[in-house]
Amino acid sequence: MPNQPEPGGPVTAPDVCPFCKSTDIATTSKSVDVSTYWRCTACGQVWNASRLQNQRQPWSDRFR
């Protein structure tokens, strides 16, 4: 993974949903930053980069 998010680092658009790995991701924001909310159209989860960094990938095993 070349684009690991770091606190305070640059934010890139997610390639896949962090919850279900779907690529059907939508956003309502025109610019991408830590407060940009993303919505997975496959599983319905909503998140942003700030939340993901704070949560430290709690989904890694929980959703399998």
Residues near Zn ion, by CB under 5 A: 17, 19-20, 22, 40, 42-43
CA atoms lying within 13 Å on the CB side of residue 57 = 7
What is the smallest separation between the CB atom of 8 and Zn ion, expressed in angstroms? Answer: 26
Given the complex with Zn ion, which of 12 and 22 has the nearer CB atom?
Answer: 22
What is the smallest separation between the CB atom of 45 and Zn ion, expressed in angstroms? Answer: 5
Burial of 52 (0-12, 13-18, 19+ CB in 10 A): middle
Given the complex with Zn ion, which of 19 and 37 has the nearer CB atom?
Answer: 19
Query: Phi first, then psi: what are they for 51, rounded to 5°?
Result: -65, -40
